[in-house]
Amino acid sequence: MGVLCGTATSVSKFELIAAECADHEITELTDLLGVSRSGYYAWADRQCRTELTPRQQRRRDLEVKILAHWQASVRTYGSPRIAADLHAEGVAVSENTVAKIMSETGIEGISPRTFKVKTIVVDPAASFPPDRVGREFDQGGTDLVWTSDITYLTCGEGDAYLCAIGDEHSRRVLGWSLADHIGGYPVFTPEG
């Protein structure tokens, strides 16, 4: 509870007073723990209530709506998207409130990747081939300029690298290769 080490909140002190009030005077306990007697009695009165205050009812309604939006998004939406959805429904709520309720109820969205995959390792001593097309990739006919690129994909079954070769005039993909690593020589699948 943290009462003895001084890190206790007023609520935890009130809980201790409630547990010890059969053996000790409430005035002694409140003085010893440094809380007001009226504060303890107000807390004890709130604990006895069975009906929710308007603020508590709004909070419960928000919990239900947030959970519904989170489940409707297949458990992917975080507080920014859920707050935007609630705003679209006409519910006035801040993103911070949505985040706090999500944290308290133990739900969270799926965050995008926070790192960037490095697909090119440049050798400072490497020599680069000359630019034979002068950055003009469309030379006016097919099969005159081909280019290639590698991209990183995040898939449901894992991560993968996609390498594609394309004709710059027709913008057609000539072949592609998919692998779970970037090294080695890819085997290309020709396109129709």
Confidence at residue 5, expressed as pLDDT on a 0 to 100 scale: 47
Please give the model's pTM, rounded to 2 decimal places. 0.44
| β-strand partners of 176 | 164, 189
Query: E strand or H helix at 166, and its extent?
Result: strand 158-167
- Please report, for the chain, the start and end positions of each structural domain, with discontinuous segments joined by +: 10-48, 54-105, 112-192
Confidence at residue 85, expressed as pLDDT on a 0 to 100 scale: 95
What is the rounded radius of gyration, in angstroms, for the C-alpha atoms of the chain? 32
- According to DSSP, the β-strands at 189-190 and 173-179 are antiparallel
On the question of pLDDT at 87 being above 70, the answer is: yes
Task: Extract the tokens encoding 72.
Answer: 């409707």
Percent of the chain with pLDDT strictly greater than 70: 86
Confidence at residue 97, expressed as pLDDT on a 0 to 100 scale: 95
Task: Quickly state the pLDDT bin for 177 (edges 50, 70, 90).
Answer: confident
For 100, phi then psi, to 5°, come to -65, -45
SS3 of residue 161 by DSSP: strand
- Are residues 175 and 191 in contact, defined by beta-carbon separation less than 8 angstroms? yes
The tally of CA atoms less than 13 A away on the side-chain side of residue 20 is 16
SS3 of residue 148 by DSSP: strand
Which one, of 160, 109, 108, 168, lies nearest residue 134 by Cα?
168
Question: How confident is the prediction for the chain on average, in pLDDT?
Answer: 84
Comparing 81-85, 121-125, 185-189, the range with the smallest average pLDDT is 185-189
**21-74: per-residue pLDDT in tens?**
889 899 999 998 889 999 999 989 888 888 888 998 999 999 999 999 999 998
Query: What is the spatial distance between Cα 122 and Cα 36, in angstroms, rounded to a whole number?
Result: 68
